[in-house]
Amino acid sequence: MAKADIRNQPAYTVAESARYLKVAPATLRSWVVGRPYPTGKGTAHSKPLIRPAKNPPVTLSFWNLIEAHVLRSLRIDHAVPMDALRRAITYAEKTLNIDRLLLSPELRTDAGKLLLERYGQLIELSASGQIAMRSLFNAHLARVEWDEWKFPVRLYPFAGNVAAAEKRPVAITANIAFGRPVLVHGGITTAAIAARIDAGESLAELAEDYDLTIAEIEGAVLYERAA
């Protein structure tokens, strides 16, 4: 995996990444730098789940965004303990000889199946819980595109509502708009659209200006303002 690839270069702060992925900044920071926890002998520090492209200061790459997006489906929605998550990832990587499992398209097949099965064992997840986890895991994977060399090339982030998985108005690509979220049609950054709306321009005016539909303009605004 070439370090020179733009997708593997530091590009995002933790705060930016958390906003783009719709996760709590503190949660994302714990994934990339670990977190302290009490022990019988004092305080220990857990190992991170993601190796950031640069540290210090902690700066994430596009590929780090992909890894965090995958973790979002497993950690945020099901509150899987970090230790169990780390052990399951390590187990699947060693078993299948895959480096950086969270970037692999194999997550859609055998690797994903093995990973989720290991989770179920570690956290004693119920049968219904396993079905729910697999559904959300697959919904997140469907938002990632891989290139012919099996590396992630595009992410369609959620606008907060995972239930609306079929809607993909916004994309993040490392070599477009410096890796900032843009509308799929037109390539306009969602931040620029939200700024113009806040400045008093109407949805109709922006739709005409950018040759987009009002629904697309609304999609950009909803993404920017989603919690």
23 pLDDT more than 80: yes
Q: Specify the pLDDT at position 146.
A: 97
Using CA atoms, how far residue 36 sits from 44, 84, 117, 120, in Å, is 6, 16, 28, 25
**Cβ atoms of 146 and 153 closer than 8 Å:** yes
> Where are the domains positioned within the chain?
1-141, 154-227
For the segment 170-197, the average pLDDT, to the nearest whole number, is 97
Give alpha helix (H) positions in the chain: 14-21, 25-33, 62-71, 82-96, 110-123, 127-141, 190-198, 203-210, 214-225
Residues 72-130: tens digit of each pLDDT: 988 654 455 788 889 999 999 999 999 999 999 999 999 999 999 998 888 887 888 88
Residues 115-146: tens digit of each pLDDT: 999 988 888 878 888 888 899 899 999 999 99
Q: Specify the pLDDT at position 166.
A: 66
The reported pTM is: 0.91
Domain 154-227 maps to which CATH number in 1.10.3720.10, 3.90.180.10, 3.30.70.2740, 1.10.10.10? 1.10.10.10
Of 33-42, 132-141, 144-153, give the lowest mean pLDDT range.
33-42
164 pLDDT more than 70: no
